Structure 1
Amino acid sequence: MIKKVEHVAIIVTDMEKAISYYSNMFGFTLRTRRQNNSREMAFLKLDQQPGFEIELIRDLVLQDEYFERGIVNHLAFTVDNIEDAVHFYNEKGISFNSETYNIANDGTKTIFFYGPNRELLQLVEREKL
């Protein structure tokens, strides 16, 4: 059911500094950047490894549970069809953190769940262009 590792999300305190660091140090380029009421997000891609991204997250509303240092927020997996994947993993005993998936402004569908050690995991269906 899982196609590949989709992205890793990293909590940052300075978005400009983080984008610059990953771009200048490792050659990532900015794919998209967006903001909602609680978070600013930037997705960085690496031409040598298409399909894997780093998601940088800067909370506009601070979260109590984050450590003082940078933190990896979640691990995401690409799926072809999120409805089929949710059904498949429900049958295997996974309980998702919401009743249905979210749809981002670029059409990407996502849903979160916890792994066995309370690590945050995510399924992602990219919008088909």
Structure 2
Amino acid sequence: MGIKKIEHTALIVKNLEESIEFYEKVLNFQLRTTANTGIRKLAFLFIKDHPEAEIELIEELTDKESPYINGVIDHIAFAVDNIEETIKDLKEKDVPLLSEQPNLTAAGKKTIMFKGINGELLQLIES
């Protein structure tokens, strides 16, 4: 067995439609497809210039004891070419950042964190 790539990352969201709008307008994702299984509403979105990079958004339709029943994802990191330009774009879209300036990763790359519409932790890393 050999893992080739990450197929997608799934996030539990509070409201699927609002989350789709956030990922499209703020982070440049494009909707691939949606589905309703009766117990969950699902959406798959991809990065416009990299259709192989995909996330799945899940809105639970039934009562569950916790949306974290299947585990918790700490954050999703997105690679960007120019972190200062991306920060400027996020600020213009009124997205609050968790720090005023980028920090450095352990590998010495510029990084900054912010939260998505559901409180999910998101990270930008200048590649």
- Within 1, Cα distance between the matches of 2:43 and 2:60? 12
The alignment's TM-score, normalised by the length of structure 1, stands at: 0.50
> Equivalent residue for 2:49?
48
- Within 1, Cα distance between the matches of 2:16 and 2:56? 11
Amino acid of the structure 1 residue aligned with 2:61: L
User: Which runs of 5 or more structure 1 residues have no equivalent in the other structure?
Assistant: 74-129
Q: Give structure 1 regions of 4+ aligned residues with deviation exceeding 4 angstroms.
A: none
- Within 2, Cα distance between the matches of 1:16 and 1:58? 9
> Equivalent residue for 2:22?
21
User: Which runs of 5 or more structure 2 residues have no equivalent in the other structure?
Assistant: 75-127
- Within 2, Cα distance between the matches of 1:8 and 1:19? 15
1:18 Cα shift? Answer: 0.2
Question: What RMSD over aligned residues (CA atoms) do the two structures have, in Å?
Answer: 1.8
For the residue of structure 2 that corresponds to 1:56, the secondary structure is: strand
Percent identity over paired residues: 37
> Equivalent residue for 2:4?
3
User: What does 1:1-129 align with in structure 2 at a 5 Å threshold?
Assistant: 1-66=2-67, 72=73
Corresponding pairs, count: 70
The alignment's TM-score, normalised by the length of structure 2, stands at: 0.51
- Within 2, Cα distance between the matches of 1:27 and 1:33? 17
Deviation per CA, 1:83-107: give whole Å up to 9, x if none.
Answer: xxxxxxxxxxxxxxxxxxxxxxxxx
Amino acid of the structure 2 residue aligned with 1:30: L
